[in-house]
Amino acid sequence: MPSTRAPGTHPTSRAAIETHGLSKQFKSVRAVSNLSFSVPHGSITGLLGPNGSGKTTALRMLLGLVRPDAGTSAVLGLPFGAIADPARAVGAMLGSRGLHPNRTASSHLRVYASAIGVPDDRARQVLHRVGLTDTADRRAGTLSLGMRRRLVLATALLGDPRVLVLDEPFDGLDPAGIAWLREFLAGFTRAGRTVLISSHLLREVEPIIDRLVVVNQGVLVHQGSMEHFRARHRARLVVACSDPVRLATALAAAGITDVRHQADGKVAIAGSDTTTVGRIASSSDVTVFGAATEQTDLERVFVAMTSGQCADPGPSGVEQ
């Protein structure tokens, strides 16, 4: 069986990407501070944070483009600089600046193919993979933003990498482009590969990520699975009743323990439904005046987290 391992990497490492204590200061700006996070093999992990929160700097340190003041990082078990054949290990998409405006899409790809030692035919394959076959002979300067993004993605795919690192890849894409990229990335990881994707909007990446790493002002404020994040902030049944404490006690006795007492006297209950709560209330002589289901807007939770208002990010803000 052919090896799927990129040369010079350690695919048995626990995570596809790991950073430990990464820090970077630009003059008076502390861009990244003691940042440690991990990206499991086969995951799509979102690196999320508002503008200027240090996402690009963190990715650039990971890829050996910026030297950290402190800390270490590894891709497939090795520091980026120690990977023997980096283009086969990791493909990166950090903006569209590497495109020469007068060079056609296919000649751009052939230049990069030659630089990393893959056959010219690979250029045609990756153009097809990103849906740019008909654009092969157009100059990069004449391409739309969405097409340029696809071309940069095609460049990242030339080495058939195990890991993709994408900085704000949805920026400027139209809805069709967003849907296409989401589908592409889901397919990429279905083949067991890994994606780290940065964004300042949770809703942009929420449908596809299975793990999130949230940074604010260069500092980690949360990391964990989307499953855990959704469960923590799942929809709640908000109940107005005659005796909130008695209702909470009765619910707990029935195994419903995710119950919060709100400032307005109502009780917010997760993991149950109106019928069950009504039955438990009635059997413990509590009168229910009204009940309504409240959906959680995860984007609002994320914004609160990154503006320091999150009441409940977890015990240390970190869930492994």
Ligand X SMILES: Nc1ncnc2c1ncn2[C@@H]1O[C@H](COP(=O)(O)OP(=O)(O)OP(=O)(O)O)[C@@H](O)[C@H]1O
Nearer to ligand X, 42 or 50 (CB): 50
Q: Quickly list H helices, the chain.
A: 55-62, 86-89, 105-116, 121-129, 145-157, 175-190, 202-205, 226-232, 244-253, 274-283, 298-305
Helix, strand, coil percentages in the chain from 3-state DSSP, rounded to 5: 35, 30, 40
Nearer to ligand X, 171 or 258 (CB): 171
Nearer to ligand X, 22 or 31 (CB): 31
Beta carbon of residue 29, minimum distance to ligand X (angstroms, whole number): 5
**What is d(CA 9, CA 122) in angstroms, rounded to the nearest whole number?**
22
Beta carbon of residue 71, minimum distance to ligand X (angstroms, whole number): 15
Binding residues for ligand X, rule: CB under 6 A, are 26, 29, 31, 49, 51-57, 200
Residues in the chain: 320
**Running DSSP on this structure, what letter comes out for residue 6?**
P
**What is d(CA 153, CA 106) in angstroms, rounded to the nearest whole number?**
13
Q: Which two tokens stand for residue 136?
A: 């092969």
Which whole-number Å values give the CA distances from 138 to 100, 106, 113, 157, in the listed order? 12, 8, 18, 20
Beta carbon of residue 51, minimum distance to ligand X (angstroms, whole number): 3
Nearer to ligand X, 166 or 267 (CB): 166
Beta carbon of residue 223, minimum distance to ligand X (angstroms, whole number): 16
Matching residue, tokens 């009441």: 311
Beta carbon of residue 234, minimum distance to ligand X (angstroms, whole number): 28
Beta carbon of residue 108, minimum distance to ligand X (angstroms, whole number): 24
